Amino acid sequence: MSSPYTIPGSATGAPVCPRHPDRVTYVSCQRCGRPTCPECQRSAAVGVQCVDCVQQANKAVPSRRTIFGGVARAGRPMVTITMMVICVAAYALDLAIPNGFIFQNFAYAPFLTESEPWRMVTSAFLHSTDFLHIAFNMYALWILGNALEPAFGRGRFLAVYLVSAFAGSVGVLLLSPIDTAVVGASGAVFGLFGALFVAQKKRGGDVRQILVLLAINAALGFIIPNIAWQAHLGGLIAGALCAVAIAYAPAKNRNLIQWGGIAAVVVILVALTVYKVSTFPAFILG
C-alpha cells in the first residue's frame, strides 16, 4: 500500500505535498513531518513548517487583550472609519437625490416611532445639508474613535456607538415635541464623550478637558437653534452607562458582565420607548 503523500503508482514512491499532490518535494515540516512544497513552506525558528501547522499554532496562541477586554489590533480604527464612511455616503446621497428622499425616509420624528422604529438608528447616519454639521460630527467621531476603539476593541466600541445613537433618539422621543424631526450623529458622539469620561476616570487620568468640552457642547445645544440637545443628553447618559459596564467589569466573567450591562441599557431604552409611545393619542399612532 502506498503512502498518502507519494505519487500514486510511482515506482520510487517520491514524497509529494499533501496540498499539491502533483508536486514532488523532499522538504519536510519540522513539526508534523509531512512533505511540504515551496508554496506551502513557512520559515520557523528552527527549520521549515507547513502552512497547516503554522495556522494551527496561531489558533492556539491566545489573542492579546486590551485593558478593557477587547481584542488588541494594530492599525487604523476600522469601525470608526466605517461609521464615518457611511455618514459621508449618506450625506452625498442626500445632496444627489432630489426632493429630500433620504431625509423623508430615514430621519427620525417621535410620531413615527411605532410605525417605523428603525429611524431611531438610521437618523444617526444622516446630517443636514449644512456642511458644518457633518464636518463637526465627523471630526469629533475621528478624535473619540481613535481614543476609544483601540481601548474597548471593535465589538465593544461599535456597541457603545450604536446604543448611544439609539439613546439619542430616545432622548428626543421623551423630551421633544412629537413632530420634531432630527438627524445627525450627535447623540452617538455624545455617547462617546460619556464613554471617554468613564474610561479616563477608570484609568486615573485627567478628565477636566473632557468636562470642559462637554460643557461647551452642551451649552451650544441651548444657544444655537436647531440643535437637538435632547439627543445629546440621551446619548451621553447611555454611552456613559455602557462604558461603566465595560470599564468596571471584574476580571471573572468579564465578557458576560460587559455585554450583559450593555444589553441592560438597551432593554431600558426599549422600555422607555414603549412606555412613551403608549402615551401618544390614538389618532397620532394611526
CATH of the domain at 228: 1.20.1540.10
What is the average pLDDT value for the chain, to the nearest integer? 86
Measured at the CA of 145, the angle between CA 81 and CA 69, to 5 degrees, comes to 110
Cβ proximity of 187 and 165 under 8 Å: yes
Is 232 found in the same domain as 107? yes
Q: Distance between the two ends of the chain, CA-based, in angstroms?
A: 78
The predicted pLDDT at position 164 comes to 97
**Higher confidence at residue 126 or residue 209?**
126
pLDDT digits (tens, 9 = 90+) for 20-78: 888 888 888 888 888 889 888 888 777 788 888 888 877 765 567 777 777 767 778 99
Is 229 found in the same domain as 107? yes
The predicted pLDDT at position 29 comes to 87
Is 135 found in the same domain as 27? no
3-class secondary structure, 16: strand
Residue type, 168: G
Beta strand segments in 231-276, E: none
Which stretch of DSSP H or E encloses residue 43?
strand 41-43
pLDDT digits (tens, 9 = 90+) for 100-110: 899 999 999 99
**Residue 160 to residue 139: CA distance in whole angstroms:** 18
Is 163 found in the same domain as 82? yes
The predicted pLDDT at position 10 comes to 43
Is 144 found in the same domain as 48? no
Is 168 found in the same domain as 107? yes
The predicted pLDDT at position 238 comes to 97
Is 87 found in the same domain as 227? yes
Crossing angle, helix 131-152 and helix 78-96, to 10 degrees? 160
pLDDT digits (tens, 9 = 90+) for 167-208: 999 999 999 999 999 999 999 999 999 999 999 999 887 788
Asked if residue 68 is part of any domain, the answer here is no
Catalytic (active-site) positions = 186, 232
Asked if residue 262 is part of any domain, the answer here is yes
Number of domains in the chain: 2
**Residue 198 to residue 200: CA distance in whole angstroms:** 5
Range of the domain at 20: 1-61
Is 101 found in the same domain as 17? no
Cβ proximity of 28 and 36 under 8 Å: yes
The predicted pLDDT at position 11 comes to 45
pLDDT digits (tens, 9 = 90+) for 223-268: 666 778 899 999 999 999 999 999 999 988 999 999 999 999 999 9
**Higher confidence at residue 86 or residue 129?**
86
**Residue 35 to residue 200: CA distance in whole angstroms:** 53
Length of the chain equals 286
Residue among 46, 31, 38, 1 at smallest CA distance from 16: 38
Q: And the C-alpha cell for 187? A: 447623540
Is 256 found in the same domain as 170? yes
Asked if residue 73 is part of any domain, the answer here is no
Please write down the HEC assignment for all residues of 84-118: HHHHHHHHHHHHHCCCCHHHHHHCECHHHCCCCCC
The predicted pLDDT at position 117 comes to 95
Is 281 found in the same domain as 186? yes
The predicted pLDDT at position 47 comes to 78
The predicted pLDDT at position 283 comes to 55
* Domain edge (last residue) among 35, 61, 87: 61
Is 95 found in the same domain as 199? yes
Residue among 108, 106, 92, 242 at smallest CA distance from 171: 108
**Residue 24 to residue 17: CA distance in whole angstroms:** 7
Query: 128-164 burial by CB neighbour count: b if 16+ within 10 A, else e?
Result: beeeebbebbbebbeebbebbbbbbbbebbbbbbbbb
The predicted pLDDT at position 2 comes to 39
